[in-house]
Structure 1
Amino acid sequence: MAETKTIEKSPKSDVEPYVMQIQDVDPMETAEWLDSLDYVLASRGPERVKYLLMALEEKARREGVDVPIASTTPYINTIPAERQPPYPGNREIERRIKSII
Structure 2
Amino acid sequence: AEVSVLSPRVAFLDHQRLLLNVDNSALKQRIAALAQDKIFKDAHQEALKREIQRLRQVYHQQNLKKMENGASPAPTQAAEVRVSVEKEQLLNV
More helix by share: 2
- TM-score, structure 2 as length reference: 0.23
Q: Which protein shows a greater Rg?
A: 2
Which structure is richer in relative contact order (CA contacts within 8 A, separation 6 or more)? 2
